[in-house]
Amino acid sequence: MRKQVTVLFCDIAGYTERAASIDPEELAEDVREFQRTCARIAHNFKGHVSSYQGDGIMVLFGHPHASEFSPERAARAGMAMVREVGILNQQPHWHGKAPLTIRVGIATGLVVVENGPGVHADQSEQIFGNAPILAARLQAIAAPNSVVVSLRTRRLVGLTFKFRDLGRFQLKGFIKTVNAWQILHERQLQKRPGKPLGRRSVSFISRRQEIRQLERAFETANFGFSRFVHIQGDPGIGKTRLVRTFEKSNLDQKIHRIRINCSPYYQTSVLKPVQDECLRWLRLSEHDDLQTRQASVDWALGVVSLDAVERQLLFTEFLDIAPTAALQELDMSAEEKRSKTIGVLVKVIIAVSQNQSLLLVAEDLHWADPSTLELLERLMDQAKQDRMLGLFTSRPHFRPHWRKYQSLSEMTLGGLTPAESRRLVESLCADAHLPESLKQSLVRKSDGVPLYLEECCFNALSRLQQPDSKDEFLLDYNVPETLQDSLNARLDQLGSARALAQLAASFGESFSWSHIDSIARQNNIDADNEMDTLVAENILVLENGSSEDRLRFRHLLFQEAAYQSLLIR
């Protein structure tokens, strides 16, 4: 199978010198502990350990199952490996040994993965492509306890991390010099997975009806009747853009704002996005000392009038400030403490809205932990006559088990019309002279999804800058690298139905079901059940104006992603 993956290669710095200075048995124990630590971290970030190579370990992100934000997951995993190995050096059983240091290299690219028969007897799979080689070479030039990434990985990670440009290197086996970037640390202000680098802001197209609905909800909230709006839509449809546009054009700067950004990395961390927002509200960072933190919390306690000692202790403990001894005196179970902490946070949020209007934005609820969802439900239950507007965003598959509240309304975002998509193309490509045929192709490929359209436009503009570019060359291009992870993740979620999607993709954007059914049966594919899955998952739809025998891919990019994952031979 062909697919885009991000490869992480990690090994022990100074391994040769270490091997020469200690007993082989002790060396083997050190390597095994290092590899176990790295494998555990890789698993936590949805990485797949492909192989152990001497003192090194190679991890794939995006294989065997594609996942969104694979480059970012790899970067986070690499930083965590450096951090955890540093902690490993401080363990009692490690005292007296030379400190263990590691180097990490990360690269993203197209690979072919072969499993089962045909690979070497001692390997379960083989990886072919440039990315594994580049990751190993980048690891070799990395300083001890550092993470170095390729230019493509750096571009796909976006603004999530702070980088240092290491310059260009002539790496072994590479004809051209290669850019290398070292990750320094995560940016504190970037909460949601960031968009790729090199993307300028674009005009907001249409959505007048949806903006007006939010304005009416805000007007009602300003009169002291809390309102909540749950905005659902496919990835890239423009949920966040809608909320940000509404904020920018309609809200006074003096209004209180609380923003809870749920993340795929903290789905099992209780109330983590809420804690992050509380620290931002108090203007605290992980580097502040205990005295600074306590002073900020004392100020907050006065603002929201948390008078009971138990509530104060729960709030300060939630922010990792309260003394352990004082907490132990509360004598409550972990579940009771969790429930009461949520109650305190609800009281804090409501108190903020009583003096001034409050906009509460909770994004990506499909990634929310259960406690954060419970907090939002309690808010809707208790904040009835407060000046609060809550805007919640999620993908369509998210189905919260909330009760029906009169203050809660639902909004579903659909795609842009062809005319609106054309206006967006004109806005994005205003400085370029794109051929009419390419503009029409961009509108058709995106099928009304703004993110798809933006990335396809940027991809076309990039290719237009290449020497000797021609119109035919621009029309025949692959899925943009920025969309490959998310599209392949959707296809991987289909399970066994992915094989039928690949078969259908080989026929083009639309196809006859009778033709597919015949070929599928020859390849031992349960065509009827798998087709039901593809239709239920909204990958395929009936073609407009045709009989039930003819279907098409809902998005042309799904067809291209499925087709490009097929081996050429």
Beta-carbon contacts of 282 under 8 Å, excluding residues fewer than 6 positions away, are 293, 296, 297, 299, 300, 319
Instruction: Say if residue 211's pLDDT is above 70.
Output: yes
Q: Which residue has the higher pLDDT, 109 or 545?
A: 109
Which DSSP state fits 204? P
Q: Is 180 exposed, middle or buried (0-12, 13-18, 19+ CB in 10 A)?
A: buried
In the predicted model, is pLDDT for residue 121 greater than 50? Answer: no
The answer to whether 74 touches 6, Cβ cutoff 8 Å, is yes
Q: What is the DSSP letter of 129?
A: E
Residues contacting residue 400 through CB under 8 Å, at least 6 positions apart: 230, 365, 373, 377
Residue 324 has pLDDT above 80, yes or no: no
Separation between Cα atoms, residue 103 and residue 256, nearest integer Å = 44
The pLDDT of 294-309, averaged and rounded, is 70
User: Lowest mean pLDDT: which of 188-197, 271-280, 421-430, 516-525?
Assistant: 188-197
Per-residue pLDDT reduced to its tens digit, 506-549: 777 777 777 777 787 777 777 778 777 878 777 887 776 555 66
What is the rounded average pLDDT of the residues 477-506? 74
104 pLDDT more than 90: yes
Task: Give CA–CA dist 291/289, Å, rounded.
Answer: 6
Count of CB atoms situated within 10 Å of the CB of 404: 5
- Does 477 or 394 have the greater pLDDT score? 394
Give 226-243 pLDDT, tens digit per residue. Answer: 999 999 998 888 899 999
| Mean pLDDT, residues 186-206 | 60
Kindly indicate the confidence band of residue 78, based on its pLDDT and cuts at 50, 70 and 90: very high
**Token pair belonging to 330:** 């509360």
Query: At 299, is the pLDDT very low, low, confident or very high (cuts 50, 70, 90)?
Result: confident
Tell me the pairing of strands 510-512 and 550-553.
antiparallel
* Mean pLDDT value across residues 551-556: 76
Give the separation between CA 74 and CA 131, rounded to whole angstroms.
Answer: 13
Place of tokens 């009038």: 305
Question: What's the whole-number average pLDDT of the chain?
Answer: 82
250 Cβ neighbours under 8 A, 6+ residues apart: 211, 214, 215, 218
Predicted TM-score (pTM) of the model is 0.78
Specify the range with the lowest mean pLDDT, choosing from 333-342, 428-437, 466-475, 501-510. 466-475
Provide the pLDDT for residue 473.
44
**pLDDT for 431 beyond 80:** no
| Residue range 328-339, pLDDT digits in tens | 666 778 888 889
User: What's the confidence (pLDDT) of residue 511?
Assistant: 76
What confidence score (pLDDT) does residue 148 get?
Answer: 96
Residue whose tokens read 């396809």: 456
- Quickly list DSSP for 357-421: -EEEEEE-GGG--HHHHHHHHHHHHH-SSSSEEEEEEE-TT----PPP-TTEEEEE--PPPHHHH
Q: What is the pLDDT of residue 410?
A: 94
Handedness of CA 436, 442, 444, 450 (dihedral sign): negative
CA–CA gap between residue 348 and residue 358 (Å, rounded): 12
- In the numeric block, which tokens belong to residue 490? 């959707």
Which of residues 280 and 167 earns the better pLDDT score?
167
Place of tokens 């990360």: 106
Percent of the chain at pLDDT above 90?
A: 30
Determine the average pLDDT of the residues in 551-568. 74
What is the C-alpha to C-alpha distance for residues 119 and 127, in angstroms, rounded to an integer? 10
